[in-house]
A and B are shown apart, each in its own frame.
Chain A
Amino acid sequence: MAKEPPVILLVDDEEMIITSIKSFFAIESDYQLLTYTSPLKALEDLETKIKSVDLVISDYLMPEMDGISFLAQVKKKFPLVPRILLTGYADKENAIKAINNVGLYQYIEKPWNNDDLRLIIRNGLEKTILLKQLEEKVREVEKVHKELSDVQKEILRVFV
């Protein structure tokens, strides 16, 4: 496997949040950030342009659609990708609802701490990598299993 930088999709209708997070990761990571101020445009690109994504972060309150609906759409396309809600909304009930409905990986409140954000994202990416490795191993096991059963069939055919 070639080591490519992890791809993170970030959606926030506020340009200033995107600039902040992008600048921080530009100096502290090799992550490739795909940023959108429009969740609808992000969904469109997820359907057409974007081949793979390792982690998705979304704001909660946006004029086009809220972050929970957006992440629910993302889940349909990439079920295994960790989803993070980033919000300044003072309402914890929404976060709980989101975690239950959409299966959020994490909930981060604005204003956030950069170290916390980095740690959460790193752990999320690690989860993605582990899941990918697990998937690969499962595929390998299935492949070996298939070979074995082929051999078994061959043996049976020869001797019976």
Chain B
Amino acid sequence: MNIKKIMHVENLTHFYGNQIGCKNINFDLYKGEILGIVGESGSGKSTLLKCLSGEISPSAGKINISLDQGGVKDFLSLPEQEKRHLMRSMWGIVHQNPRDGLNLRISAGGNIAERLLNVSEKNYSFLRNTGKYWMKKTEMDPDRIDEFPLSFSGGMQQRLQISKILSSNPQIVFMDEPTGGLDVSVQAKILDTIKSIVRDINVTMIIVTHDLAVVRFLTDKLLVMKDGIIVESGLTDRVLDDPQHSYTQLLTSSILQV
């Protein structure tokens, strides 16, 4: 059974001046996989995510991507126009704070439409129906399509952000602490929503979080980061149940049982 390799990362390194952001990161990502990147503050996981999603240009290393159309590309040496186009259509970033990923000056429907308009959708009804479809899919009330993001609760804003990203059928979704700022009960519901969507549409995801319960719930495989490097990687349940590295063992033993 041949699953396509969608991303190949080689020796990815980024410095902030003299400070290591992330160093010598190597991994492969296959289509349909959900990769978790865990670590505590300062581990370099957010830096890594920003390098992968194109928000930062890393100091060194290679990222090869292979999307549905167009063979294998060296992402870091793409001309800016192609990069921007990729970032706006082929993949999406779900930010920890939904207000970073939403345009607060336009309606919910407008936010979802924006992604589609980037790929030149010309039909108003289609935009509207797609908006309502994705709102329903993320368990929002589609009748609220014309309301503005600030009139929604934090959890709803996060769902809206997710709808916005998924509406353009991205091939990779990057999530940065997707449930970070939310109340626990809201977190749980959002995770459920993400999980069921992922089951439905076979999207490839990279999720950065410090919360091991989130990775256990959502991810297939895991990278554990400390001080900018990967200390352990493998199947999520294997890494959490049979941790080999001392840091991973420290992390897993630190979780309080409820």
A and B: interacting chains: no
